[in-house]
């Protein structure tokens, strides 16, 4: 009987984490005033194809238009936090897969990266941390959102060097 409760508790914990990850990602896009794609709008075929290829069991839970020529697609993956898949487009050309932003706990920031953020924003509060990967899953650094008199997105390497948006 207690084994059944342990299993149910574990399943409930995973569900809470998954819901929280989706809610946080959605909240992030709202917080940063990114345009949510219109309800009922479909993704371009090349975007759907790329996501199905990379995440065959994934479920698209939303997509947002960020800067001109950038789209982020939220994908829910069984047993994993949701991931943001980033696509870029130049002019009238097709969308192409640029990379991935994977949410991680603030505690996963290496000491030098955390020290760099704290030095730049001494009174700031870290709101979100994401690991950034290119389309080949090569780690590029961290995207850190800091609330310090307004929201600031910074890209920092594990060694604590600030870089421009790597995607």
Give 60-111 pLDDT, tens digit per residue: 998 988 877 899 999 999 998 899 999 999 888 899 999 999 999 999 999 9
Asked whether the CA dihedral 11, 14, 18, 20 is positive or negative, the reply is positive
Res. 1: pLDDT tops 60: no
pLDDT band for position 22 (cuts 50, 70, 90)? very low
Is 29:94 a contact under the CB 8 Å cutoff? no
pLDDT of residue 90: 87
User: What is the distance between the alpha carbons of residues 138 and 107, in angstroms, rounded to a whole number?
Assistant: 21
Res. 59: pLDDT tops 50: yes
Counting Cβ atoms within 10 Å, is residue 121 exposed (0-12), middle (13-18) or buried (19+)? middle
161 by DSSP, 3-state: which? coil
> Domain containing 163: what range?
105-167
Can you give the pTM of this predicted structure? 0.75
pLDDT of residue 73: 95
> Between 81 and 147, where is the model more confident?
147
Which of 101, 127, 148 terminates a domain? The answer is 101
Note whether 148 and 89 are same-domain residues. Answer: no
Which of 80, 101, 122 terminates a domain? The answer is 101
Which of 74, 101, 128 terminates a domain? The answer is 101
Note whether 97 and 109 are same-domain residues. Answer: no
pLDDT exceeding 90 applies to what percent of the chain? 64
DSSP state of 117: H
Q: Mean pLDDT over all residues of the chain?
A: 82
Res. 116: pLDDT tops 90: yes
b/e string for 56-94 if b means 16 or more Cβ within 10 A?
eebebebbbebeeebbbbbbbeeebbbbbbbbbbeeeee
User: What is the distance between the alpha carbons of residues 80 and 61, in angstroms, rounded to a whole number?
Assistant: 14
Six-digit token string for 49: 């194809």
5 by DSSP, 3-state: which? helix
Note whether 16 and 61 are same-domain residues. Answer: yes
pLDDT of residue 146: 97
């Amino acid at each position: 009987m207690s084994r059944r409760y342990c299993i149910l508790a574990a399943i409930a914990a995973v569900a809470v984490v998954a819901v929280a990850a989706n809610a946080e990602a959605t909240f992030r896009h709202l917080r940063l005033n990114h345009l949510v794609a219109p309800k009922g709008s479909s993704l371009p075929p090349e975007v759907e194809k790329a996501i199905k290829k990379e995440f065959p069991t994934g479920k698209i839970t939303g997509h947002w238009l960020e800067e001109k020529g950038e789209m982020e697609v939220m994908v829910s993956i069984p047993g994993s936090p949701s991931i943001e898949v980033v696509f870029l487009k130049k002019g009238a050309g097709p969308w192409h897969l640029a990379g991935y932003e994977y949410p991680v706990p603030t505690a996963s920031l290496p000491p030098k990266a955390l020290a760099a953020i704290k030095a730049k924003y001494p009174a700031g509060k870290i709101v979100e941390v994401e690991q950034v990967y290119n389309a080949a899953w090569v780690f590029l650094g961290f995207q850190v959102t800091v609330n310090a008199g307004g929201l600031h997105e910074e890209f920092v390497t594990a060694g604590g060097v600030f870089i421009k948006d790597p995607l």
